[in-house]
Amino acid sequence: MAGRLYIVPTPVGNLDDMTFRAVQVLKEADLILAEDTRTSSVLLHHYDIKGRLQSHHKFNEHQTAQLIKERILGGLNVALISDAGTPGISDPGFLLARTCAAEGIEVQTLPGATACIPAIVSSGLPCDRFCFEGFLPQKKGRQTLLTSLEGETRTMVFYESPYRLVRTLEQLAEHFGSDRECSVAREISKLHEEHRRGTLAEVAAWYREHEPKGEIVIVVAGAKPEKPVKSKRYGRGEEQEGEP
């Protein structure tokens, strides 16, 4: 009988954000796949989880996905974790989940920590509809993607490195306008959690003077939707609204 693949979120900061079910699944798994075994060992030790640990990251996932699939088909229950948050969300996990799902293997994803949801809810910007863009391309395709988002009316969520934060805020201002509202969430659920709100120009200016550190989530307001042209019925020969 085939085993299962469990995708297990881990805390993005505070270790107490781990769920009881996540701990139980990791304790019972035959094999735990980790993005960085050194990082994950700290979490596993904290919860006295002693399962077998194997690395699974973006540099080897194409080679290991098929092997892991075969082991699950052989009866092993495998749990996948990343360094922080939910695997597959800007972290390794998608390829393995797709490979297993295509084979008919049961894939269970536990609910849990992810950085984008606390960031958008705390931003004060509309969160009923939003689009998640993750990390922007570093070079090829970056400008094209930003241009394509200029008319996006939903709130947008981006991940970014602290070393590139100011540059990215400046580029967002170039494409969306310097007065577009935004929020930068830093170190979510950690001791020095910070939310800096304002326009793109204001927040960029702040971080030019205050070097950012830690994990970064940028939340940007969407463009204001264009007002629809009103449609009216007119008699023959009368001008309609919007016509010359």
- The CATH number of 116-220 is 3.30.950.10
Within 13 Å, how many C-alpha atoms sit on residue 19's CB side? 14
In this prediction, residue 241 carries a pLDDT of: 46
pLDDT by residue for the chain (244 residues), tens only, comes to 899 999 999 999 999 999 999 999 999 999 999 999 999 999 999 999 998 999 999 888 888 999 999 999 999 999 999 999 999 999 899 999 999 999 999 999 999 999 999 999 999 999 999 999 999 999 899 999 999 999 999 999 999 999 999 999 999 999 999 999 999 999 999 999 999 999 999 999 999 999 999 999 999 999 998 766 565 555 554 444 444 4
User: Cα 153–159–161 angle (5° rounding)?
Assistant: 140
Q: Given this model, what pLDDT does residue 230 score?
A: 61
Please tell me the predicted confidence (pLDDT) of residue 170: 98
Ranges of each domain in the chain:
4-109, 116-220
d(CA 167, CA 172): 9
Question: Using CA atoms, how far apart are residues 78 and 5, in angstroms rounded to an integer?
Answer: 5
pLDDT for res 244: 42
pLDDT at 225: 87
CATH of domain 4-109: 3.40.1010.10
Q: Which residues of 19-54 are buried (b: 16+ CB within 10 A; e: fewer)?
A: beebbebbeebebbbbbeeeebeebbeeeebeeebe
Residues whose CB falls within 8 Å of the CB of residue 167, separated by 6 or more in sequence, listed in order: none
Q: DSSP letter string over 99-120?
A: HHHHTT-EEEE-----SHHHHH
